[in-house]
Amino acid sequence: MMASGFGGGLIAATMYAAIMTAFEGQFSPQRELYFGLQSPLLGIVGGGALAGILANLLRQFAVRALGSVGRDRLMDLTDLEHPLLRKMAEEAPGSWEHARAMANLAEAAAAAIGADALLTRVGAYFHDLGKTIQPKYFVENLAAGERSPHEDLEPEVSADAIMAHVVQGTKVLRDGGIPEPVVEFAYTHHGTQVIEYFWHKCKSRGNPKNLTEDFFRYPGMKPQTKETAILMLVDSIEAASRTIQPPERGKFEEMIQRIIFTKLKTGQLDEAGLTMEELKILIVKMADTLVAMYHGRIKYPWQEKDERASRRASKSAFVAAAPLSKPPSSSSSGGGGAASGESGKGSSKPN
């Protein structure tokens, strides 16, 4: 800001010299020096420099008054040693890994359309902090084979437990002094969507309490900015990308298009300001990023050795279990009779 102020002062001084030449026929630097501290030229250059200094001093107050967040504050929030991020890593490790993967994907997507990439990354880090309250209600935090608490709950109770992370996360972030533009990611990343899984579970049980889908609708609000809309999309896309096998570009694009179409159909992107052109760019960029994230690697020698051994073992097991193509003749020698008896035990027609 100080450099900009000084540069502005020099440009203004150039304009002053041009005006003096145009209206008085000449511009005399000696005359300006004669005036000393009362020189208009000195006042113009000094005023620009002073404006830069004042702007730098008052910037934090202006940022807070306008409800924005400065780049230096955002950079501080990217520190993975932040107390709230450490809390999430310790208490909800699965959700934390999901958030970190989202951050890379969301940052690249935001940069591709000229949105605030740094703000989007920070929003991805903090948006799911509410899951630290009851982490076991979220499948990514369950250990292998661990029983889900939802198996013993009514669908509407499960939905309440899931939806609570939006409200609780917003409170935790505000109590922790996180800037409001970052907090906004917490209460908009699910918008006003319905938790389809538990709504369908309720209907499949006959909906004995005559509930409506509003009982299963998130209590947040639709994304109001491009950055929060990108995070909403990435939240679904990153999770779905883990189910794509094999991880091919065509399958990634199809999955991304399906998710974006669903959000458009349900009106979740109506207030975000994303254009169709930007959505096309997002599809291409996110597919590129996912391909890069799931790219193949050259196998190590020990991996190739284990794979060959596994193939040989599978082949041997198949040969041992496969029936003979022709039953042995009854006129076979004594050894053949024994072979016939062994093959007869396991012989069967392949499916």
pLDDT exceeds 50 at position 318:
yes
Measured from the Cβ of residue 346, the count of other Cβ atoms closer than 10 Å reads 11
What tens digit of pLDDT does each residue of 221-271 get? Answer: 999 999 999 999 999 999 899 888 888 899 999 999 999 999 999 999 999
pLDDT exceeds 70 at position 319:
no
For 227-292, the DSSP string reads HHHHHHHHHHHHHHHTT-SS--HHHHHHHHHHHHHHHHHTTTTTTT---HHHHHHHHHHHHHHHHH
All domains of the chain in start order, with CATH: 2-65 (no CATH), 71-293 (1.10.3210)
Specify the pLDDT at position 104.
92
pLDDT exceeds 80 at position 314:
no
Total residues belonging to the chain: 351
Select from 195, 175, 63, 178 the least CA-distant residue to 125. 178
133 exposed, middle or buried (CB, 10 Å; 0-12, 13-18, 19+)? middle
- What's the mean pLDDT in 34-43? 77
pTM above 0.75, yes or no: no
Axis crossing angle, helix 226-241 with helix 117-126, rounded to the nearest 10: 60
- Give me 286's structure tokens: 């996110």
| Angle, alpha carbons 205-261-226 (nearest 5°) | 115
Do 96 and 89 form a contact (C-beta atoms < 8 A)? yes
pLDDT band at 123 (very low <50, low <70, confident <90, very high): very high
What tens digit of pLDDT does each residue of 265-291 get? Answer: 999 999 999 999 999 999 999 999 999
Q: What is the mean pLDDT of the chain?
A: 86
